[in-house]
Structure 1
């Protein structure tokens, strides 16, 4: 992709994105699935799962160390409740044991090691995503390694800050909801705040994270949009995957019988792979739309 083509991509606006670049919904689905296979995004999803596993436990260590410094009670309990509602029981138990172990054995040296491993794993995680998204946009000239690594490191700690803010909102949110409901009566507001606080925070975190990733990670100059078809696909698919995968693991699959004590780890690895696949597919959807809009602007009518 030449510099001139990148400039043209940057000029594609919000309306063109939501008109799918002139594609029909069926064409968008077909070309996105074909592009997912053509760009070998399944392999990038597997790499995402590997580096995510490497990053997850240092991330828990750093989060717990940060939470210990905040004057807000119930943050860890709120995080455990969110994990319990979103992940299968065997994975939740494994993570709870890890959280408890970290709480009882955390030292300055462990926290320092956790920050180092989080930096290393998070950088590799975002570099992997960058490789996949550059394949989606068919980039000829990628960023230099040091520039890509620096950006990946910033994104790693940016996600950490977003996670901490989400945890704080999970604790403060219900209190704010009760305050609002005590002073304003509206059935729709009551339903949203009483039943949807936790999911609203989770979806907001995913929406903001994916919009930043799809804007900053590829080696192309793209305009930042908080909601794109790709990021909306990620949020909806991720919520469906969370609930569907949990039901499947707890009622149909028998990972513990097959893998024994490794069952929880295998389930977590599969869950992370599916998360990576959803993120890659969201990027592919945006890439298909950008390319279709560019071809339409150039007066080319043939499919991509």
Structure 2
């Protein structure tokens, strides 16, 4: 039996996406929220958090193992500074303890075990996202398990590569900024490069990774676009969530008093769930626009 052809939305252009498929901004918001509930993306967000927990430690093991082979000093310190600025203190401290423990016990066999665990956890993570995004696009025929798993494995190591690249940029970024400022003495450029290097790298990582995920993961033919309304929503919402969640946890929530030593783990779970929810909502926004644009195109014939 021949495998059914995936739904083809590749002819939906850039302008159609940014015209929201003919929808008003209010209709887009309303349909996206409605679709998020109808497609049960909250459950997929919870699954995302579950598999992300299993993936996090192997990811740190492999990252630290790769960093140890690079001739660039300060990569781990730069990563810890970025974590400290973006995450609540308890969560940052828990990750710092994990990083320190991994650095002390890193061996070749431990790194190889981390690669295997990362491959398993990352594959399950992207399969979960695929299930959610296929629900968003209301796919009737999904990819085979072998194709989905192979793609999920490839995306896992693609994200690992992006993280390594981001860590390098966090270190060499200030040096590049200093060189640029020596040639272009413009006040707005000075403010942007001196204050926004770390956030620029983080936002660039999120934008590229989400754009690739929204293009490759669903079982539909989609055109490649570096920026879509969904991916832009993810970047903006993720930054707002980071700042707001850190402010809430450090000033209003008292997880340690309620959960004791489990407080940091509970914060991690909530943070990962919110990240998953943002990713799923970004996919829903794109799905609403694609469906609206497709219906508008079909009705014009």
TM normalised by structure 2 equals 0.97
Aligned residue in 1 for 2:138: 138
Deviation at 1:3, TM superposition (A): 4.5
Matched residue count: 297
2:42 equivalent to 1:42? yes
Aligned residue in 2 for 1:207: 207
Partner Cα distance (1:163, 1:107) in 2: 21
Aligned residue in 1 for 2:281: 281
Aligned residue in 2 for 1:259: 259
Deviation at 1:10, TM superposition (A): 1.1
The within-5 A match list for 1:119-134 is 119-134=119-134
Partner Cα distance (2:87, 2:53) in 1: 15
Deviation at 1:298, TM superposition (A): 1.5
Partner Cα distance (2:211, 2:179) in 1: 31
Residue aligned with 1:129, SS: helix
Aligned residue in 2 for 1:14: 14
Aligned residue in 2 for 1:88: 88
Aligned residue in 1 for 2:244: 244
Q: For each residue in 1:174-230, what CA deviation from the matched residue of structure 2 results, as whole angstroms up to 9, or x when unmatched?
A: 011111112220011101100000000000000000000000000001011000000
The within-5 A match list for 1:66-85 is 66-85=66-85
Aligned residue in 2 for 1:150: 150
Deviation at 1:299, TM superposition (A): 1.4
Q: For each residue in 1:112-148, what CA deviation from the matched residue of structure 2 results, as whole angstroms up to 9, or x when unmatched?
A: 1111100000000000000000000000110000110
Unmatched runs of 5 consecutive residues or more in structure 1: none
Partner Cα distance (2:70, 2:12) in 1: 43
Partner Cα distance (1:142, 1:79) in 2: 38
Partner Cα distance (1:25, 1:74) in 2: 45
Partner Cα distance (1:180, 1:12) in 2: 38
Partner Cα distance (2:180, 2:298) in 1: 51
The within-5 A match list for 1:109-188 is 109-188=109-188
TM normalised by structure 1 equals 0.96
Partner Cα distance (1:138, 1:10) in 2: 16
Partner Cα distance (2:224, 2:283) in 1: 14
Partner Cα distance (2:229, 2:13) in 1: 13
Partner Cα distance (2:296, 2:193) in 1: 43
Give the root-mean-square deviation of aligned CA atoms.
1.0
Residue aligned with 1:196, SS: helix
Partner Cα distance (1:10, 1:177) in 2: 38
Aligned residue in 2 for 1:195: 195
2:243 equivalent to 1:233? no
Partner Cα distance (2:39, 2:77) in 1: 41
Q: For each residue in 1:226-275, what CA deviation from the matched residue of structure 2 results, as whole angstroms up to 9, or x when unmatched?
A: 00000000000000000000000000000000000000000011000000
Partner Cα distance (1:293, 1:188) in 2: 38
Partner Cα distance (1:260, 1:188) in 2: 46
Aligned residue in 1 for 2:64: 64
Partner Cα distance (1:15, 1:182) in 2: 38
